[in-house]
Amino acid sequence: MTDTLDRPTETHAFQAEVSRLLHLMVHSVYSNRDIFLRELISNAADACEKLRYLALETPALLGDDGNLAITLAADPAAKTLTVADNGIGMTRDELIENLGTIAKSGTKAFLKAVGEGAKSSNLIGQFGVGFYSAFMVASRVVVTSRRAGSDQAWTWISDGINGYDIRPAEGDEAPARGTVIRLELNDESTTYADEATVERIVETYSAHVPVPVTFVKAGEDAKALSDGSALWAKPKSEITKEAYKEFYGNVSGQWDEPAMTIHYKAEGRHEYSVLLFVPSMKPFDLFDPARKGHLKLYVRRVFIADDVDLLPHWLRFARGVVDSEDLPLNLSREMLQHNPVLEAIRKNVTSRLLSELAKLAESDAAKFAEIWEAFGPVLKEGLYEDAERRDELFKIVRFRTTASGEATRTLADYVAGLKENQTKIYYLLADDPARAAASPHLEGFAGRGVEVLLLTDPVDAFWVRTALGFEGKPFQSVTQGASDLDAIPLVDAAEPTPDAETATGTVALVARLKELLGDKVSDVRTSNRLASSPSCLVAPEYGPDKQFEKIMARHQGAAPFGKPVLEINPRHPLILAVVAKLGGDESLVEDAAVLLLGQARVADGEAPDDPADFGRRLAHVLEKALGA
Q: What is the pLDDT of residues 466-516, one digit of tens each?
A: 898 999 999 999 998 877 888 888 887 655 666 666 678 889 999 999 999
DSSP 3-state of 90? coil
Q: Is residue 90 part of an annotated ligand binding site? A: yes
Answer yes or no: is 453 within a domain: yes
Q: What whole-number percentage of the chain has pLDDT above 90?
A: 51
Report the number of distinct structural domains present in the chain. 3
Q: Is 382 annotated as a binding residue?
A: no
- The CB density around residue 41, as the number of other CB atoms within 10 Å, is 25
Residue 110 is predicted with a pLDDT of 46
Q: Are residues 242 and 220 in the same domain?
A: no
Give the pLDDT of residue 77. Answer: 92
Domain boundary among 210, 229, 248: 229
Q: Is 85 annotated as a binding residue?
A: yes
**Does 378 score more than 50 pLDDT?**
yes
Annotated binding residue 601: no
Enclosing domain of residue 355: 232-371
Q: How far apart are alpha carbons 165 and 226 in whole angstroms?
A: 34
174 with 238, same domain: the answer is: no
pLDDT for 252? 85
Same domain, residue pair 100 and 182 = yes
By percentage, how much of the chain surpasses pLDDT 70? 86
Q: Which residue, 371, 386, 421, sits at the end of a domain?
A: 371
Measure the CA–CA gap between 92 and 82, rounded to whole angstroms.
20
Residue with more model confidence, 554 or 230: 230
CATH number of the domain enclosing 518: 1.20.120.790
Backbone angles phi, psi at 322, to 5 degrees: -130, 125
User: In this structure, is residue 87 part of a structural domain?
Assistant: yes
- Radius of gyration over every alpha carbon of the chain, rounded to an integer in angstroms: 32
Looking at the structure, tell me whether residues 365 and 217 fall in a common domain.
no
- Position 380 scores a pLDDT of 96
Q: Is 104 known to sit in a ligand binding site?
A: yes
Tell the burial category of 594 from Cβ atoms under 10 Å away from its Cβ (0-12, 13-18, 19+).
buried
- Which region among 236-240, 439-443, 481-485, 507-511 has the lowest average model confidence (pLDDT)? 481-485
Give pLDDT, residue 240: 92
Q: Are residues 563 and 554 in contact, defined by beta-carbon separation less than 8 angstroms?
A: no
The reply to whether 391 falls in a domain is no
Domain CATH number, residue 329: 3.30.230.80
Average pLDDT in the chain? 85
Does 122 appear as a known binding residue? no
Distance CA 413, CA 400 (A): 12
Question: 172 and 315 share a domain?
Answer: no
Residues 426 and 552 placed together within one structural domain of the fold: yes
In a domain? residue 36: yes
Residue 127 annotated in ligand binding: yes
CATH number, residue 38: 3.30.565.10
Judge if 352 and 450 occupy the same domain.
no
Kindly report the three-state secondary structure assignment for every residue of 305-369: ECCCCCCCHHHCCCEEEEEECCCCCCCCHHHHHHCHHHHHHHHHHHHHHHHHHHHHHHHCHHHHH
pLDDT of 25 reads: 59
Q: Mark whether 451 and 498 lie in a shared domain.
A: yes
Do the annotations mark residue 98 as ligand-binding?
yes
149 labeled part of a ligand binding site: no
Within-domain flag for 393: no
pLDDT of residue 225: 92
Q: For residue 43, say whether it is annotated as part of any ligand binding site.
A: yes
Residue 114 has pLDDT above 60, yes or no: no
Asked if residue 222 lies in contact with residue 71, where contact means CB atoms within 8 angstroms, the answer is yes
Q: Are residues 207 and 281 in the same domain?
A: no
Average pLDDT over residues 380-406: 94
> Is residue 84 in some structural domain?
yes
In the predicted structure, residue 127 carries a pLDDT above the cut 50? no
Q: Is 139 exposed, middle or buried (0-12, 13-18, 19+ CB in 10 A)?
A: middle
pLDDT value of position 17: 63
130 among the known binding-site residues? yes
Residues 180, 130 within the same domain = yes
Residues 218 and 239 both lie in one domain: no
Give a yes or no: residue 380 inside a domain.
no
Does a structural domain hold residue 3? no
202-219: pLDDT as tens digits? 987 787 788 999 999 877
More confident residue, 331 or 607: 607
Task: Write the pLDDT tens digit of every residue in 223-235.
Answer: 999 888 889 988 9
Residue 330, marked binder: no
**Together in a domain, 353 and 417:** no
Q: Which of 185, 208, 229 is the last residue of a domain?
A: 229
Is 386 annotated in a binding site? The answer is no
pLDDT at 37 over 60: yes
